[in-house]
Amino acid sequence: MPSFPHTPIGLIGFGAFGRLVAAHLAAHVTLRIHDPYVSEAGFAAAGVAPCGLAEAASCPVVILATPVSSLAEVVRAVAPHLRPGALVLDVGSVKVGPAAIMREGLPPGIDIVATHPLFGPQSARDGLRGLKIAVCPVRGGRARRVAAFLRRGLGLEVILTTPEAHDREAAAVQGLTHLIAKVLVAMEPLPTRMTTRSFDLVMQAVGMVRHDAPEVYHAIERANPYAAEVRRRFFDLAAQMDGELGEVEMAGTELCPTPS
């Protein structure tokens, strides 16, 4: 997109995140949006017109905004329509798998930049400025120009990294947040009045991810190769803490009368 400021960008996928991308890129570029699973009414409600796969996929820059779990299928569908020298980006929550899928599935002449915007519709409610995005060069030399546009054009904080380094950190950052949120949501109703500032912050975090599409949770917890290890540590430490507190309880404390 920094290289083609006046040429159209193809957006494949118009789900929650595709809509967010469209809303913020519309001021900078012309968009050609394709999503066979969104109705005409859905497009109309967002104030944009859809186009066919070939039209979107033949733009000089193509953004794949589909769930990680269907990226392989979308790459297969898009590949025949790409023009030589095009730049393809994805926006998935994990990067090792999607980078490999794009590297294997897209023709050699296509440049590839894998990205992970570290925000969603909730955290971007007040705009993009200051939010973070991870950018991983996969093929070709255009990652730095993409990063420059994201910084200057959208005000994002860009973190240039590799798919492996990204997934290691995301496994902790997103894996833990979503895990904790899932458990707390399952425990509801939780107190809303007699709360501490720290509990309010935790519940604010829960509020930001609780309405994420199930695909996001699945990508974070299952498609991230490091997520299982992070969960293992979390659950082991939790069990250890549980055991320590349990032992003390068995020993009894005089401060702990039976509730009436």
Interface positions, 30-69, toward a copy of itself (CB under 8 A): 68-69
Q: Binding of a copy of itself at residue 23 (CB under 8 A)?
A: no
Q: For residues 79 and 159, which CB has a smaller minimum distance to a copy of itself in the complex? A: 159
Q: For residues 68 and 78, which CB has a smaller minimum distance to a copy of itself in the complex? A: 68
Tell me how far apart the alpha carbons of residues 1 and 61 are, in angstroms, rounded to a whole number: 6
Q: For residues 81 and 132, which CB has a smaller minimum distance to a copy of itself in the complex? A: 132
Q: What is the dihedral of CA 135, 139, 145, 151, to 10 degrees?
A: -10
Q: Binding of a copy of itself at residue 135 (CB under 8 A)?
A: no
Q: Binding of a copy of itself at residue 158 (CB under 8 A)?
A: no
Q: For residues 46 and 72, which CB has a smaller minimum distance to a copy of itself in the complex? A: 72
Q: Binding of a copy of itself at residue 228 (CB under 8 A)?
A: yes
Return the axis-axis angle of helices 163-186 and 197-209, rounded to nearest 10°: 110
> What is the smallest separation between the CB atom of 132 and a copy of itself, expressed in angstroms?
7
Q: Binding of a copy of itself at residue 160 (CB under 8 A)?
A: no
Q: Binding of a copy of itself at residue 197 (CB under 8 A)?
A: yes
| Helix and strand totals (H; E) in the chain | 10, 7
Distances (CA, A) of 195 to 8, 151, 201, 215: 50, 38, 10, 31
Q: Binding of a copy of itself at residue 161 (CB under 8 A)?
A: yes
With residues binned 3-state (H G I as helix, E B as strand, rest as coil), the percentages for the chain, rounded to 5, are 50, 15, 35
